[in-house]
Structure 1
């Protein structure tokens, strides 16, 4: 009887391990299915406010061509870069999303351009993937952790994360300071969908909700040739952005609170880093020198006692 029990336990263990392996493989496939050349539509609309005399803002809608591709892919980490193509020839480095398996290290947004390190217990993230979303300058934006779900022919991932104001509003509004984002990424027949149910919040001692917002962003696959100009652009610029990521990674490894100034010399950070990109790539590129100059720029924007190593 004891031998039978041990055998059953072994069988259950093997079956569980196989199921976990298949589940992770399905997760990876779903993440990689976000890659490709896409016609993208961005749609946002405020839907409800608990404030009686609140004046709803106009709906936001835009569209474009976007190239999504893996910068890095390893067993437990997939880095996807987005490039926006404007007018068939102009390339704008867009947002980046990193996917980490069973990750315990998060930077969570507080308010006032401040992110605080949050360490999780391994048991909390078992089988989960963290999505870390970064600004166009590869600085922090928001992070959430959850499990990919594969059921009834659907694959989706959803979580809630605090975030700063979106770029479409951060220079236009000051009536709220935190967006509580409920993000859902679903792989579809046409490509994928980024669905959002967002709360616009005034954060002081407590949170005051001023409005709900619905986001519906569709990524519809199109022929890869339309995005070749973006692939070519990245081939010329990837070395610089690898160094930018390395500098940010050094900062995040400190696990200290990160606070970033909105403007220095009346310029936001991405403007300075984009200008430095053009300057450095116009000459013989030296990675060590580049990282030093990148650190000088980012250091100016750190509104804290943190000091980047200039070695």
Structure 2
């Protein structure tokens, strides 16, 4: 009976992921030029409103097990300070860079954190398709009108996950909800070598009176026994990341780091984009502690550049070489 229920649940989820466009909200009909323009500008204002300085609370909770022999992890709550900066805005493309600011024994550290790229009416997204691989996936043409994609990148600017959806106002709340997306394991899970190896997820971004929230609905999946491709669900997880506007930390340190390293990271982003275009995606070995096997060194080069220990040209040359060597 247990095996039957597990198989049935896995089958339903596989069908849902395979037929996402059909199960997602329907196409947005043409609303006329004036309305389309007004909605587009409202979407842009909402995305840009996520920039700023924040106190962040990370709240993670495994809830419902989908197999009988799994015990959900205890709830985990952590936090920190994060500065979010607009580093590109072309109108239809907005790039937000997150910078973590931490203190230890009186010393301030800035850690380049995740990045989110928003694109209006995208034709394709660079999606996670399984361990060590990200590939271009077409957005159905009928689902593009009025929608935005969000692509999230890891600390070394390699891709992490991508999805698309509509910004809408429901009961007075501005919200963006993604389609079903595959995601690699977060560090909190990867370092434990769990039975699951990826998430099937829906992401939501919503503005609040004091900032915004990022709400994740993650189904943790594992390879099914006896199959090279089938997956089955293990446990449900809910993650609520709350960004509350706050500048009572060393915001200047975040801006100083970015001023010193932005050209280096621009070159890194450009190399990742070139590789993805040339190779039809990115194949790169994941690493539990840092995300990818080259992430640690790319971050070290950024810090060394800020400290004057390496020239910008040398840092860029090494970074480009690492990306070229480790991607397939």
TM-score by length of 2: 0.82
For residues 224-247 of structure 1, the C-alpha deviation after alignment (integer angstroms, 9 at most, x for no partner) is: 774222112211111111111011
Mark the CA change 1:262 to 1:300 in structure 2 (over 3 Å): closer, same or farther.
farther
- Residue matched to 1:260: 284
- Residue matched to 1:235: 259
Correspondent of 2:317 among 275, 286, 292 = 292
Q: Between Structure 1 and Structure 2, whose CA radius of gyration is higher?
A: 1
Correspondent of 1:209 among 208, 230, 233 = 233
Mark the CA change 1:257 to 1:250 in structure 2 (over 3 Å): closer, same or farther.
closer
- Residue matched to 1:143: 162
Contact 1:66 1:85 in 2 (8 A): yes
Q: Which sits farther off after the overlay, 272-281 or 35-44?
A: 272-281
Mark the CA change 1:131 to 1:53 in structure 2 (over 3 Å): closer, same or farther.
same
The Cα of 1:147 is off from its aligned counterpart by: 0.8
* Alpha-carbon distance between aligned partners in 2 of 1:248 and 1:47, rounded to the nearest angstrom: 36
Alignment of 1:53 onto 2:69: yes
Contact 2:157 2:268 in 1 (8 A): yes
* Alpha-carbon distance between aligned partners in 2 of 1:183 and 1:39, rounded to the nearest angstrom: 20
Task: Give the secondary structure class of the aligned counterpart of 2:221.
Answer: strand
Alignment of 1:190 onto 2:206: no
Mark the CA change 1:174 to 1:231 in structure 2 (over 3 Å): closer, same or farther.
same
Mark the CA change 1:165 to 1:235 in structure 2 (over 3 Å): closer, same or farther.
same
The Cα of 1:280 is off from its aligned counterpart by: 4.8
Q: CA RMSD in A?
A: 2.1
- Residue matched to 1:128: 147
- Residue matched to 1:178: 198
Correspondent of 2:91 among 75, 95, 105 = 75
Structure 2: 5+ residue stretches without partners: 1-29
* Alpha-carbon distance between aligned partners in 1 of 2:126 and 2:135, rounded to the nearest angstrom: 5
Q: Which sits farther off after the overlay, 274-283 or 128-137?
A: 274-283
- Residue matched to 2:11: none
* Alpha-carbon distance between aligned partners in 2 of 1:279 and 1:40, rounded to the nearest angstrom: 27
Alignment of 1:276 onto 2:317: no
Structure 1: 5+ residue stretches without partners: 1-12, 305-311
- Residue matched to 2:138: 119
- Residue matched to 2:246: 222
The Cα of 1:129 is off from its aligned counterpart by: 0.4
* Alpha-carbon distance between aligned partners in 1 of 2:193 and 2:88, rounded to the nearest angstrom: 36
Mark the CA change 1:224 to 1:37 in structure 2 (over 3 Å): closer, same or farther.
farther
How many residues align? The count is: 287
* Alpha-carbon distance between aligned partners in 2 of 1:70 and 1:197, rounded to the nearest angstrom: 26
* Alpha-carbon distance between aligned partners in 2 of 1:215 and 1:163, rounded to the nearest angstrom: 14
* Alpha-carbon distance between aligned partners in 1 of 2:113 and 2:202, rounded to the nearest angstrom: 21
TM-score by length of 1: 0.86
The Cα of 1:293 is off from its aligned counterpart by: 2.2
Correspondent of 1:96 among 115, 118, 130 = 115
The Cα of 1:291 is off from its aligned counterpart by: 4.0
Task: Give the secondary structure class of the aligned counterpart of 1:43.
Answer: strand
